[in-house]
């Protein structure tokens, strides 16, 4: 049985949290300890998502936790971030599931949908009875979604969609897909329900990363949908990009959970593992690695806490989210790689969570805007020069 997920709070950040925020975190921490850790290595090995966790996560109010009304928990953004941190201390795939459901699919409907769409879908999604996915990336358009080829054309009172979306989390287990497509006026979004004729999914296998998460290709061949499936407020690339800001916010927090798990595991290990007559923890090189890990996780937590406070005051800028996503995921990946090394040969086996986190974080560094894309977003912000093209 994996070890209890220790707290790690070098700067007493707990004192800056409300009792509600702490309670949300503790509830999810216990859930991860009791329900996730005992089975996650099996799911990772078998390339399966633990669907049995969907209902308990819904019961805790995790889906759409920071949305208000429509059956959502209405927590603040700091509580939401703390929850993401705990989920990812379990596994990035679990946090991904919650991110896609909440920050991408539910948020798209919440921000860009009609009142009728919100009432129809959001309460059921909050209960985990309807699962969503978010189809933006295409085989030939990842970092630059503005080039998307998926096309929707008007057909009487409805629409016909053709195109392919690839690398879509939750794709084949989703009841509905948010599909971003090009129309005459620009880019807009649609809600395509599972079972709609012409809409099929195929899972992507052979991943060495995010194995406890379903990743699919979505194929849309002459998919006919009514006008009621169109997100009426979604006009332009800004609509999907605004959803990415929500998801990147959760990822910035989440990556710290994976990093913390690796740090705690490495710290434990070097305290008991003896080489050259004494515990590894007594050697300066080993201590230097631990201190760097502690420093980077703590700095990341401080950035996230301030980001969450700004978000709660509606003052958060997308570029600040890029800063946090870029830094925290990159540092988490580095921490995981170093922690893996500190366990020597034991670092490569699934008796310890480190190699799983390390492999997962390779994806986290790539999706939701790669490290380089976040760099260019920040570079553009501080110089006013666009270096994307």
Annotated catalytic residues are: 368
Of 198, 201, 202, nearest in space to 162 by CA: 198
Q: Out of ligand TGC, ligand FAD, none, which partner does residue 99 contact, by CB within 5 to 8 A per kind?
A: ligand TGC
Scanning the structure block, which residue is given the tokens 């933006």?
Answer: 136
Backbone dihedral region for residue 284 (phi beyond 0: left; psi -120 to 50: alpha; all else: beta): alpha
Q: Out of ligand FAD, ligand TGC, none, which partner does residue 119 contact, by CB within 5 to 8 A per kind?
A: none
**In the complex, minimum distance from the CB of residue 257 to ligand TGC, in angstroms, rounded to a whole number:** 14
Residue 320 CB-half CA count within 13 A: 13
**In the complex, minimum distance from the CB of residue 52 to ligand TGC, in angstroms, rounded to a whole number:** 19
Q: What does each C-alpha distance from 17 to 12, 76, 182 come to in angstroms?
A: 10, 11, 43
Q: Out of ligand FAD, ligand TGC, none, which partner does residue 245 contact, by CB within 5 to 8 A per kind?
A: ligand TGC
Contact 181, 150 (CB under 8 A): yes
Strand-pair category, 215-225 with 199-203: antiparallel
Summarize as ranges the residues that interact with ligand FAD (CB under 6 A).
100, 133-137, 142-143, 167-169, 210, 215, 363, 366-368, 370, 372-373, 388
Which H or E run includes 26?
Answer: helix 19-31
Q: Out of ligand TGC, ligand FAD, none, which partner does residue 366 contact, by CB within 5 to 8 A per kind?
A: ligand FAD
**In the complex, minimum distance from the CB of residue 216 to ligand FAD, in angstroms, rounded to a whole number:** 9
> Which of residues 178 and 354 has its CB atom nearest to ligand TGC in the complex?
178
Summarize as ranges the residues that interact with ligand TGC (CB under 6 A).
96, 99-100, 134, 136-137, 143-146, 169, 236-238, 241-242, 244-245, 247, 318, 367-369, 373, 377, 388
> Which of residues 134 and 269 has its CB atom nearest to ligand FAD in the complex?
134
Residue nearest to ligand FAD (CB): 142
Angle at 316 between CA 253 and CA 248, to 5 degrees: 35
Q: Out of ligand TGC, ligand FAD, none, which partner does residue 210 contact, by CB within 5 to 8 A per kind?
A: ligand FAD
Strand-pair category, 132-135 with 151-155: unpaired
**In the complex, minimum distance from the CB of residue 376 to ligand FAD, in angstroms, rounded to a whole number:** 6
Residue nearest to ligand TGC (CB): 96
CA distance 252 to 316: 14
Scanning the structure block, which residue is given the tokens 């609509």?
Answer: 239
CA distance 172 to 176: 10
**In the complex, minimum distance from the CB of residue 280 to ligand FAD, in angstroms, rounded to a whole number:** 34
């Amino acid at each position: 049985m994996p070890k209890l997920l220790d707290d790690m709070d070098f700067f007493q950040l707990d004192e800056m949290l409300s009792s509600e925020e702490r309670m949300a975190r503790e509830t999810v921490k216990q859930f991860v300890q009791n329900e996730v850790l005992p089975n996650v290595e099996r799911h990772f090995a078998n390339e399966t998502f633990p669907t049995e966790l969907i209902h308990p996560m819904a019961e805790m109010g995790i889906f759409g936790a920071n949305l208000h009304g429509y059956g959502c928990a209405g927590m603040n953004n700091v509580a939401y971030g703390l929850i993401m941190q705990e989920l990812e201390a379990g596994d990035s795939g679990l946090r991904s599931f919650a991110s896609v459901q909440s920050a991408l699919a539910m948020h798209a409907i919440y921000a860009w949908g009609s009142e009728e769409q919100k009432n129809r879908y959001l309460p059921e999604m909050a209960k985990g009875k309807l699962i969503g996915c978010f189809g933006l990336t295409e085989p030939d358009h990842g970092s630059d979604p503005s080039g998307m080829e998926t096309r929707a054309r008007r057909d009487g009172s409805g629409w016909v969609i053709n195109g392919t979306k690839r690398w879509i989390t939750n794709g084949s287990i989703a009841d509905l897909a948010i599909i971003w497509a090009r129309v005459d006026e620009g880019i807009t979004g649609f809600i395509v329900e599972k079972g709609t004729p012409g809409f099929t999914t195929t899972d992507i296998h052979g991943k060495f990363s995010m194995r406890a998460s379903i990743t699919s290709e979505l194929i849309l061949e002459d998919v006919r949908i009514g006008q009621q499936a169109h997100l009426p407020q979604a006009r332009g690339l800004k609509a999907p990009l605004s959803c990415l800001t929500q998801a990147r916010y959760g990822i910035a927090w989440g990556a710290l959970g994976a990093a913390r798990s690796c740090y705690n595991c490495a710290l434990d290990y070097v305290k008991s593992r003896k080489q050259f007559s004494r515990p590894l923890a007594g050697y300066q090189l080993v201590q230097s690695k631990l201190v760097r890990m502690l420093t980077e996780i703590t700095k990341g937590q401080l950035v996230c806490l301030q980001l969450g406070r700004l978000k709660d005051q509606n003052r958060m800028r997308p570029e600040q989210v890029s800063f946090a996503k870029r830094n925290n995921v990159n540092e988490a990946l580095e921490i995981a790689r170093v922690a893996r090394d500190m366990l020597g040969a034991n670092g490569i086996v699934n008796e310890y969570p480190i190699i799983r986190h390390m492999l997962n974080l390779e994806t986290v560094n790539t999706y939701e805007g790669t490290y380089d894309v976040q760099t260019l977003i920040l570079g553009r912000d501080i110089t006013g020069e666009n270096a994307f093209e």
